[in-house]
A = this chain, B = another copy of it.
């Protein structure tokens, strides 16, 4: 039960009085080795509890059969779904998954990338943190030739592989749903203006309103820093308007949780005085007495699956991945 080192091929060879190469070949079922020898080797290997030293093999093959996954935080169902899918795909390819949560912290993101690089992962799947602006690691990785595929929260750059959800389709459906139900005072509670995700929501929101012939009231577009306080403040500023909106598209379901709670405190009746639709389609709404009118599904599993496939294509050096891949899934409104 103490420091007895693992058996090596050499030891087997010595015991059998044959050469290490023969042992190696026998163990790998090489055709040129006789069945007798193979059997003898296998038997002894079994007895001595031989286990190939993968670190040696990785080293020699210049491959680790490991991919790194970097995402903001696993406590968001979107990402815990995604990682499950990634794991499944990886498992099929006999790969193992190295995990890193950035917690939306740019510095951590960089550290994780560095650490993954150190560990010589064969590839990286990454969803950016909410505030990430700096893309230095792209250079770092380009130098090291480690393929990287972004998903969900992707950088606004050409020449990188990315898989994400098209927020506009869901937005259009949301606005449609609101208008069809007679709403014309529709607001947007958006995330921080710096985020690409926010810019997109904003853009699609305005586009959708215009397309349906509604005027865009800038008072109806407010921002939250995504903290509980920020969410409440955003809601408050909407409620303070003389002409309060009757429908709200919110950044995501987490924000909406706070909005609904705040609204209730203020005596605003859900789905009567005010209607909500947000992004994410988290599974918890079915347990709520006052769920939002709908939520926009962004398909974490599909995104993760596709991103993982592209990554493995890169790793396996398929031709198709010479150019940067860009895969976009439409988002979809799900009524509650």
Interfacial residues, chain A to chain B (CB-CB below 8 A): 1, 3-4, 6, 49, 51-56, 58-59, 62, 64-66, 69, 73-75, 77, 80-81, 83-84, 87, 91, 96-101, 103, 111, 115-120, 142-145, 257, 260-261, 264, 284, 286-290
Contact = CB atoms under 8 A, between A and B. Distances in A.
Among A4, A73, A80, A289, find the residue whose CB has the most chain B CB atoms closer than 10 A. Answer: A80
A261 B290 contact: no
A120 B84 contact: no
Given A74-B83, A87-B100, A101-B84, A55 B51 contact: no
Contacts of A83: 74, 99, 101
Contact of A98 (B52, B74, B97, B289): B97
B98 A51 contact: no
Contact of A101 (B87, B117, B119): B87
Contact of A118 (B54, B119, B286, B287): B54
B144 A6 contact: yes
A91 B118 CA distance: 14
Contact of A54 (B51, B120, B260, B290): B120
A241 to B, nearest CB: 25
A264 B286 CA distance: 13
Among A3, A111, A118, find the residue whose CB has the most chain B CB atoms closer than 10 A. Answer: A118
Among A6, A87, A91, A96, find the residue whose CB has the most chain B CB atoms closer than 10 A. Answer: A96
A224 B80 CA distance: 25
Closest 3 CB pairs of A and B: A74-B80, A99-B99, A289-B289
A120 B80 contact: no
A227 to B, nearest CB: 15
A75 B73 contact: no
Contacts of A56: 59
Contacts of A69: 99
Nearest to A108: B91
A51 B117 contact: yes
A96 B115 contact: yes
A101 B81 CA distance: 11
B101 A99 contact: no
19 contacts: A51-B144, A53-B120, A54-B119, A54-B120, A55-B120, A59-B59, A66-B98, A66-B119, A69-B99, A80-B80, A83-B101, A96-B100, A96-B115, A96-B116, A97-B98, A264-B289, A284-B284, A288-B288, A288-B289
Contact of A257 (B74, B91, B264, B287): B287
Nearest to A66: B119
Contacts of A53: 59, 120
Contacts of A98: 66, 96-99
Contacts of A99: 69, 83, 87, 97-99
Contacts of A257: 287
